[in-house]
Structure 1
Amino acid sequence: MLSRTLLLSAVSALAMASFAHAETLTIATVNNGDMVRMQKLTEDFTKKNPDIQLEWVTLEENVLRQRVTTDIATKGGQYDIMTIGTYEVPIWAKQGWLLPLDGLGDAYDKSDLLPAISDAVSVDGKLYASPFYGESAMVMYRKDLAEKAGVTIPEKPTWDQIAEAAKKMTDKSTETYGICLRGKAGWGENMALLTATANSFGARWFDEKWTPQFDQPEWKKALQFYVDLMKEAGPPGASSNGFNENLALFQTGKCGIWIDATVAASFVTNPKESKVADKVGYALFPTGGVENHGNWLWAWNLGVPAGTKKAEAAQKFVSWATDKAYTELVASKEGWANVPPGTRKSLYANPEYEKAAPFAKITLDAMNAANTSKPTIKPVPYTGGQFVAIPEFQGIGTAVGQQFSAALAGSMTVDQALRGAQALTTREMTKGGYIK
């Protein structure tokens, strides 16, 4: 008995010592469905890496951006891994705030990444963040409501066709709204949708001399169209709705059309989460009369800040969460339709995925249609689809988003919102030295 007790004590002491010496990685991430799913699956990683523990900080999108930007800019060292977008990666890499990911291992297979996504998170050929999922934007709609309303949504719709369908699908007596679009203020919330929409109407943020263009007719047409459509066919309180709020509305059958990130498709077609899973159709992002389908291109990525003292362990986790084996892990637990989309060529060559995901082709078509090097039909001095790839955009985009959200809420007119956007953007661009 004594020897057995001593043996158990020794084993326990070794386990405690091992735990005490384990590195703890603090991971900041967004509260999107794919990221929440990743957290639930991380026992697979910790079993393979018992010397690494994980601590999660899960935040709403706008809050996440604010926290990680402050931490990395001040070299606060609060996080070892950050969930960041394609907007931040090249800017932060050039400022020396991110470590190049050169320790991901052979199994990672960088050559399998979709070129558009790989290029977006690389600088001078080096990967500075690893894409967890990639997306463009598209139309998701209720086929049953469209049929009942007697409308057809083509694969390449115009905004006028969307508006007509949304109005006919609306039945406020049953709290069924024709269309759900982002209204919550934020450069990556309502301004992602509205910048892509403006692109599709032929608008641009700046001319070749960095002069803001909110006083031009294309912006007036785009914003007025959006506000009028949402007032007539959108849900109440739309100025507070972002991605997650509109997802919930669509999943519960309250929305006829939702135009948003392609990554949402797996959630709206998941019968465990969506009441309308078997009733969803898809189309490309609409055009407003010009040959531009919004040019939305985005990826949520895992990056390692230069301030971390746990770079080796951090890259182990990044590789685990974004390699092909992780895709297979999700498929084994949740089914192929729910794997993170939009990052790897091998996924779209997989017949199992194509069979399980009716949205696969339209997602890839939407991503391939995006041209972030030429986001508008008019010449511009910037790149980026649903954002402008300059450091100042984070602040300017959110401030403009507040103006446009107020117009949607009815607390100011469209003209007032555009005048406010023009004034504040001109002021900040002058302060930044863009306007001489």
Structure 2
Amino acid sequence: MGKLRTLFLGLAAAAALMIGPALAADGPDKAKIDWQQFKGQSLELFFVKHPWTDAITPLLPEFEKLTGIKLNLTTAAEDAYWNKSSLGLASNKPPFDVFFLSMGINGYTAYSNNWLAQLNAQLDNPKLTDPAWYQYDDISKAAAAAFHLPDPSSSKVYGIPMSTEVYMFFYRKDLFKESGIDVNAITTMAQWMDALHKLKLPDGVYPASLRGGGLGILDELNGMVANTWGNTPYLKDRFVYFDEKWAPRFTDPKVKEGFKLWADLMKLSAPGVTSFDWYEATTQFAQGKAATFGPDASLFASIFLDPAQSTVADKVGFKALPAASADGAHTAMWSWGLSIPEKSAKKDAAWLFLEWATSPYVTEQVSLKTLASSRQSTWSSADYQAKLPEGFGNAVGESLAIAQPSIMYLTAADQVVQSMLDALQAIYGGTPVDEAMQKLQDQATDIVKQAGLYKP
């Protein structure tokens, strides 16, 4: 489930590594639409206090000049945002016209309550959208699908992704080099694990650091399980964990292998890993106490590259997950998006803002600060990659191309995730994999039965 990382200082520091933008995407003046068609109107924006918000705010006057639309921005910390946005969406006259929407259960709940405007009419209207300029298909397919509801296979669009994270590895270039290990030659998870065992590390430095506790582990663990699952089809609204009848699949060998790999990485981490959430795990790596970090969110580069927060800022390498199955490498992703309330009286004007804010042109500028573009063209741009730390753009772009949305539309998801965490920690503690996963299977079966989803 989505979570905001408090990385504002880190992102600013990472941005300082970059030179001024040399933009490749066409500006809005090239779009074949009338940007002034709603001149004189105003739009209320309600955003989370987030790096994307910080990056877009200085650009808002450009939109106002382009369109003649007045923008009024209100922000809230994430904890307060959920309640405020839900109350606003449920009202007959929502107090905002554009808002942050998270993929996953929060977005699905808003959809189920008929709070979200479907955006296909705006996307397909040539008076509102120039498809050649906007390039919707350039958005990561996984990120875009996460805002297709009621499930990713639907063609109905209810949000546009604008800040996307993928799950990948970070590593110490110096320690791998000193151990004679060529990271570029590693193409499988078996080779990666073998390399970690061969590392020659100073006292107090562990081969790995990763999450081992807290419900926030789900998305990252899903990246590993997606990798071991491979190309076997599954319903995208329940990840790989449940079949079409909501029967759990935690005893499937592919799922068990993903859990085992994660537990094996935990065994190579520092003592106390079962209490590590993102803060503890990133701190270990940033303080030079681990040779690798992850799999975890790409946006954590902002911590590791910031000398004020990291002692290894000049030693960090980046790698997409190596393949864990014969089908090749896979991972998972998570994203924020922008959406419009169903009851907004200004849907078309609001769409112009979404179109502008998530366009290739604006995305290039914002992503220099957020490092979280949802567009493939950003990551494949030579100009953009030249402004990033060596290897980072390639690793993220490669990860985005193999990512699937980390989605489980289940109201009792937290109960399932807690049981998943218990199984992971049990395997780490020495419980046989088959035994731990069978217990998880039984617990998950009870949960979906009680929810009325699974009826054997």
Asked if Structure 1 and Structure 2 have the same fold, meaning a TM-score greater than 0.5 normalized by the shorter chain, the answer is: yes
Distance 2:162 2:207 in 1: 32
Matched residue type, 2:72: Q
Q: Write out aligned runs for 1:105-124 (5 A).
A: 106=129, 109-111=134-136, 113-114=138-139, 116=141, 117-122=143-148
Distance 2:197 2:419 in 1: 28
Q: Write out aligned runs for 1:169-248 (5 A).
A: 169=199, 171=201, 173-174=203-204, 176-186=205-215, 189-202=216-229, 204-207=240-243, 209-231=245-267, 233-248=268-283
Matched residue type, 2:241: W
Q: Which residue is equivalent to 2:103? A: 85
Matched residue type, 1:99: A
Task: Return the offset for 1:260.
Answer: 1.9
Q: Which residue is equivalent to 2:453? A: 433
Q: Write out aligned runs for 1:257-296 (5 A).
A: 257-258=292-293, 259-265=295-301, 268-269=304-305, 274-296=310-332
Q: Which residue is equivalent to 2:54? A: 39
- Distance change >3 Å, CA 57–CA 400, structure 1 → 2: farther
- Distance change >3 Å, CA 238–CA 266, structure 1 → 2: same
Q: Write out aligned runs for 1:35-434 (5 A).
A: 35-36=50-51, 38-39=53-54, 41-45=56-60, 49=64, 51-59=70-78, 81-85=99-103, 89=107, 92-93=110-111, 96-101=114-119, 106=129, 109-111=134-136, 113-114=138-139, 116=141, 117-122=143-148, 125-154=155-184, 156-169=186-199, 171=201, 173-174=203-204, 176-186=205-215, 189-202=216-229, 204-207=240-243, 209-231=245-267, 233-258=268-293, 259-265=295-301, 268-269=304-305, 274-306=310-342, 318-319=354-355, 321-330=357-366, 336=368, 338-357=369-388, 358-370=391-403, 372=404, 386-388=406-408, 390-392=409-411, 394-404=413-423, 406-407=425-426, 410=429, 417-430=436-449, 431-434=451-454
Moved more, 307-316 or 276-285: 307-316
- Percent sequence identity is 23
CA contact (8 A) 2:89 2:341 kept: no
Cα shift readout 1:5-58 (whole Å, capped 9, x = no counterpart): xxxxxxxxxxxxxxxx987643236xxxxx335326524426865954333222
CA contact (8 A) 2:45 2:71 kept: yes
> Greater CA radius of gyration, 1 or 2?
1
Distance 1:282 1:81 in 2: 32
CA contact (8 A) 1:52 1:313 kept: no
Distance 1:310 1:121 in 2: 21
Cα shift readout 1:282-334 (whole Å, capped 9, x = no counterpart): 33313334424234243321223436677677656645543344335447xxx
Cα shift readout 1:64-113 (whole Å, capped 9, x = no counterpart): 7x758965896696876124026655675465231234669558814363
Task: Return the offset for 1:427.
Answer: 1.8
Cα shift readout 1:256-275 (whole Å, capped 9, x = no counterpart): 11222334446544567644
CA contact (8 A) 1:156 1:285 kept: no
What are the ranges of 5 or more consecutive residues in structure 2 without an aligned counterpart? 1-40, 231-239
- Give the secondary structure class of the aligned counterpart of 2:183: coil
Distance 1:198 1:434 in 2: 22
TM-score (norm 1): 0.70
Distance 1:48 1:202 in 2: 44
Matched residue type, 2:448: M
Matched residue type, 2:161: P
CA contact (8 A) 1:83 1:301 kept: yes
Distance 1:216 1:195 in 2: 15
CA RMSD of aligned residues (A): 4.2
Task: State whether structure 2 residue 47 is matched by structure 1 residue 27.
Answer: yes
Distance 1:156 1:75 in 2: 54
Task: Return the offset for 1:243.
Answer: 4.0
Matched residue type, 2:210: L
CA contact (8 A) 1:202 1:290 kept: no
- Distance change >3 Å, CA 170–CA 211, structure 1 → 2: farther
Provide the aligned length of Structure 1 versus Structure 2: 385
Task: Return the offset for 1:401.
Answer: 3.9
Distance 1:348 1:216 in 2: 35
- Give the secondary structure class of the aligned counterpart of 2:76: strand
- Distance change >3 Å, CA 58–CA 183, structure 1 → 2: farther
Task: Return the offset for 1:146.
Answer: 0.8
- Distance change >3 Å, CA 70–CA 178, structure 1 → 2: farther
